[in-house]
């Protein structure tokens, strides 16, 4: 086994290790993503999906536009371009895992009520944080419609 020193890059993630914590971001990946051929909506959305591994702030929007990968319109492509403009302004954002003396697990969850007017399905989401950093998150449309949700 060979000691290669401290981890710096892993699967497109840049890892900055300092005395009081670890910062994970995808600055180089963002730069490469911005070079994607704008005509390829699927490739662009796939890149945005991977970017959500360190950017929970774009998870919901990316999840919504990913529903239209097989039949995108100009409107969907415009939303994806707007996400890219946001990313350009926040390229140094990432996740900070700071040293804390006591790790506490926090969980937050929420759901809207029949948020999609077409089929009356709800969107539910959750986020878990351990210590000072987010470790798991999700936002998705529920697969079933409950009777109470469809009676408005």
Structural domain boundaries enclosing 38: 1-99
Co-location of 10 and 43 in the same domain: yes
Burial 122-140 (b: 16+ CB within 10 A, else e): bbebebebebebbeebebe
Residues 51 and 126 in one domain: no
Tokens 């948020």 belong to: 115
Domain count across the chain: 2
Which pLDDT value is given to residue 107?
93
Whether residues 11 and 44 fall in one domain: yes
Q: Examine the domain organization and report whether 94 and 116 are in the same domain.
A: no
E runs forming strands in the chain? 9-10, 13-18, 21-25, 94-98, 105-111, 123-130, 133-141
- Say yes or no: 89 and 41 in one domain: yes
Find, among 17, 67, 61, the residue nearest to 42 by Cα.
Answer: 67
Claim to verify: residue 52 and residue 119 sit in the same structural domain: no
- Please tell me whether residues 37 and 109 are part of one structural domain: no
Does residue 39 share a domain with residue 17? yes
Entry field: residues in the chain? 152
Q: Are residues 88 and 137 in the same domain?
A: no
> Could you tell me whether strands 133-141 and 13-18 are parallel, antiparallel, or unpaired per DSSP bridges?
unpaired
Q: What is the pLDDT along the chain (152 residues), one digit of tens a residue?
A: 788 888 888 888 898 888 888 888 888 888 888 777 656 888 889 999 999 888 888 888 898 898 888 888 888 888 998 999 999 999 998 888 888 777 788 999 988 877 767 777 788 888 898 877 788 888 777 877 766 555 55
Question: Do 39 and 77 lie in a common domain?
Answer: yes
Is 82 in the same domain as 37? Answer: yes
CA 28/CA 26 separation, integer angstroms? 6
Task: Give the predicted TM-score (pTM) of the model.
Answer: 0.69
- Nearest CA-CA partner of 51 in 24, 76, 72, 71: 24
Same structural domain, 9 and 70: yes
């Amino acid at each position: 086994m060979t000691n290669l020193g401290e981890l710096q890059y892993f699967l497109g993630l840049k890892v900055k290790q300092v005395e009081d914590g670890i910062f994970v971001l995808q600055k180089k990946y963002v730069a490469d993503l911005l070079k994607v051929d704008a005509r390829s909506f699927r490739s662009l959305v796939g890149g945005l999906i991977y970017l959500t591994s360190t950017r929970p702030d774009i998870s919901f929007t990316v999840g919504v536009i990913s529903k239209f990968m097989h039949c995108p319109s100009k409107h969907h492509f415009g939303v994806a371009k707007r996400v890219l403009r946001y990313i350009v302004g926040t390229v140094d954002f990432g996740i900070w895992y700071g040293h804390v003396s006591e790790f506490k697990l926090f969980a937050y969850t929420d759901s809207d009520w029949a948020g999609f007017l077409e089929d009356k399905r709800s969107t539910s989401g959750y986020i878990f944080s351990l210590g000072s950093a987010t470790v798991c998150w999700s936002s998705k449309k529920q697969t079933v419609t409950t009777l109470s949700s469809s009676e408005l």
